């Protein structure tokens, strides 16, 4: 191995062991244990050669008038790892703004490319509630989906099943649960569900319809019944017509998330029913 090839190998090793990108001067000091114009020129030639072979990558300078830096991974890959580590360390939902907040100014230049690859690889998913964009890691998403679907299934889904599904891969041994016909929704059920959630409103008479819909979904799972939100909404409208339930609208309908809005229904010339209360017979 000639001297140049040997220097190339040493520079690759130096950068792979470095915890952050290094300037040419820093690489030169670690390579030759010294620094002068001749050694720096030799180091520069090696660095340029490795750049052309895409064995190392150039990084922006940390501040104005400072030197560019080099590392063994592309800048967007570094940013990608940093974003993904955030979701491993803190798996809650993060807003797009909060994720950008962990990055330095130069790292933000590679944010879109890094996030785009994470989304394409199905490691992170982007959700939108109102005007706010959220990012959710695949581990958090699969946990939430398992908690949502498995109560309604005889054959339980595994985390691997859902990860394969989200990544567009073939899912093995996932069978549909046989459901019985739609069960009749009686007044007593709605009264029971209303009373179970009423205390959560701290004295207010009305409760969100989505709370009762959640009770309905759980009840369908426990009784092996087919979920039919339209039938649920129709029964609630009937109770309203019969004077057994009062429906009221949301004071700020623009703040209702789109995913929630699709299961609600209109009342009073286009306003959306959001709350309800059960009216006891006098």
pLDDT tens per residue across span 73-88: 999 999 999 999 998 8
Write out pLDDT tens, residues 250-259: 877 777 887 7
For residue 32, is it within any domain?
Answer: yes
Same-domain pairing of 202 and 216: yes
**Mean of pLDDT values over 163-181:** 61
In the chain, what percentage of residues exceed pLDDT 70? 93
Same-domain pairing of 201 and 257: yes
Token digits of residue 158: 């595994």
Of 31-45, 146-160, 222-236, least confident by mean pLDDT is: 146-160
Q: What is the mean pLDDT of the chain?
A: 85
Phi, psi angle pair for 64, to nearest 5°: -60, 135
When divided into structural domains, the chain yields a total of: 3
**Mean of pLDDT values over 31-57:** 88
Same-domain pairing of 191 and 258: yes
For residue 158, is it within any domain?
Answer: no
For residue 131, is it within any domain?
Answer: yes
* Distances 125 to 81, 120, 142, 168 between C-alpha atoms, Å: 15, 9, 11, 14
Helix (H, G, I), strand (E, B) or coil at 14: helix
Same-domain pairing of 56 and 89: no
Task: For CA atoms 182, 186, 189, 191, give the dihedral sign.
Answer: positive
For residue 38, is it within any domain?
Answer: yes
Q: So what's the pLDDT on residue 181? A: 55
Write out pLDDT tens, residues 200-252: 888 788 999 999 999 998 888 887 788 888 889 999 999 999 999 999 988 77
Confidence of residue 171 (pLDDT cuts 50, 70, 90): low
Cα angle 31, 32, 37 (rounded to 5 degrees) comes to 115
More confident residue, 246 or 266: 246
CATH code at 48? Answer: 1.10.10.10
Same-domain pairing of 66 and 9: yes
For residue 106, the enclosing domain spans 75-139
For residue 106, is it within any domain?
Answer: yes
**Mean of pLDDT values over 185-196:** 90
For residue 150, is it within any domain?
Answer: no
More confident residue, 282 or 126: 126
Taking the model in full, what pTM does it have? Answer: 0.53
More confident residue, 2 or 239: 239
């Amino acid at each position: 191995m000639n001297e140049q090839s040997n220097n190339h190998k040493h520079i690759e090793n130096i950068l792979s062991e470095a915890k952050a990108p290094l300037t040419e001067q820093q690489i030169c000091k670690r390579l030759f244990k010294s620094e002068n114009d001749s050694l720096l020129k030799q180091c520069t030639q090696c660095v340029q050669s490795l750049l052309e072979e895409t064995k190392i990558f150039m990084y922006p300078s940390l501040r104005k008038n400072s030197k560019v830096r080099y590392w063994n991974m592309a800048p967007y890959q570094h940013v990608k790892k940093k974003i993904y580590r955030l979701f491993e360390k803190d798996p809650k939902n993060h807003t797009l703004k909060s994720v950008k907040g962990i990055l330095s100014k130069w790292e933000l230049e590679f944010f879109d490319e890094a996030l785009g690859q994470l989304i394409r690889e199905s490691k992170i998913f982007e959700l939108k509630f109102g005007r706010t964009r959220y990012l959710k890691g695949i581990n958090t998403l699969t946990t939430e989906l398992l908690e949502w679907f498995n109560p309604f299934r005889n054959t339980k889904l595994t985390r691997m099943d859902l990860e394969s599904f989200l990544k567009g891969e073939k899912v093995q041994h996932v069978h549909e649960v046989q459901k019985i016909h739609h069960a009749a929704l009686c007044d007593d059920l709605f009264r029971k569900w209303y009373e179970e959630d009423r205390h959560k409103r701290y004295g207010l008479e009305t409760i969100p319809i989505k709370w009762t819909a959640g009770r309905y979904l759980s009840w369908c799972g426990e009784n092996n019944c087919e979920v039919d939100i339209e039938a649920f909404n129709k029964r609630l409208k009937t109770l309203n017509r019969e004077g057994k339930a009062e429906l009221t609208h949301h004071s700020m309908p623009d703040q209702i998330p789109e995913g929630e809005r699709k299961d609600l229904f209109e009342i009073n010339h286009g306003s959306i029913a959001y709350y309800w209360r059960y009216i006891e017979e006098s």
